[in-house]
Amino acid sequence: MLQFSLTAQTISGTITDKNDEPLIGASVLVKASTTGTVTDFDGKYTLDVQGGTVLIVSYTGYLTQEIAIGASTTLNIVMETDAALLSEIVVTGYGSQRKENLTGSVGVITAKALEARPITNATQSLQGQVSGVWVNQNSGEPGEDAADIRIRGIGTLNDANPLILVDGIEAPFGNIDPNDIESITVLKDAASAAIYGSRAANGVVLITTKRGTRNSKPTFSYTGYAGTTQSAVVPDYIWDSEQFMRLRNEADINSGKTPHFIPDDVIAQYQDGPNTNWFEEVFRNAAIQQHNLSVSGGSDKNQLQHFIGLF
């Protein structure tokens, strides 16, 4: 008779690139399952797995790795850059050059990567896409959805947000339609952002917008999607009246006070009564849709690119 034993264990560690920069939002998935997690702001992760399983670790712009779980409960992973991306042309403060020729630390997001994600705000395009970049959206209120961007931590000179340049002109990131973006380059260190002086103390984000092709006929294109959206964080409130009253009485007793709800007959009146989850009543899943129509072209003297978007 053959006996097999799979022992559950908790695996934790840090995922970084070859420069020891933490990779925020890297995916750690158990092979052939839906069990997984993502790394936090420090590139750290924790995952409960069975012994003998294989982890699949992936991150945009890096080679996917498959790692077998051993006896150790600590697994630090260094991701390797995808060699196919080294030939990409990167926009920097000094012009454009091949990524393999760069000496500074930069991150690049292409239009193809943006099209694969249903985002409505340009700042969302940075979330989990560039190592060392942290994005926090403070509000979901319409017109107030601008996010805080931090590159390699929080700076102390001027504002903590990086310098945002759209086609070489300073402009708010949130005012740009994601469908207008051709590429986003994040300059993360002093070597790559030196041309901008002290304004680049917190990093630089260079946005290049799409443009038409010279000597080409007008070309029309349409993209769109439909789906649903829901609250990212649901408050963990006590919605049960009886439970609330008993916990309130317990808190009063622990504080040396007289219980607020007495006698028990008062609580019993709510034991079988209806309870209303007001959060679910007010916040429900909503249908969303987005439509984008563009026309591009050009002559030997100019280039044309126009967008119309409806969200």
Block means of pLDDT (10 residues each) for the chain, 311 residues, are 57 90 86 84 88 84 86 89 60 50 68 75 77 75 68 63 83 80 82 70 84 81 80 72 86 89 79 78 81 83 78 72
> What is residue 302's predicted lDDT score, i.e. its pLDDT?
77
Q: Which domains does the chain have, with CATH numbers?
A: 8-78 (2.60.40.1120), 86-209 (2.170.130.10), 216-230+285-310 (no CATH), 241-282 (no CATH)
Q: Is 184 helix (H, G, I), strand (E, B) or coil?
A: strand
* CA-closest candidate to residue 244, choices 265, 258, 261, 257: 261
Burial of 149 (0-12, 13-18, 19+ CB in 10 A): buried
* CA-closest candidate to residue 53, choices 3, 14, 7: 7
> What is residue 125's predicted lDDT score, i.e. its pLDDT?
77
Residues in the chain: 311
**Beta pairing class for 8-16 and 77-78:** parallel
Q: How many angstroms separate the CA atoms of 294 and 307, rounded?
A: 4
Q: How many angstroms separate the CA atoms of 205 and 162, rounded?
A: 7
Question: Side chain identity at 70, as an amino acid letter?
Answer: G
CB 237 within 8 A of CB 282: no
CB 79 within 8 A of CB 63: yes
Q: Which residue has the tokens 């991306």?
A: 85
> What is residue 57's predicted lDDT score, i.e. its pLDDT?
92
> What is residue 192's predicted lDDT score, i.e. its pLDDT?
63
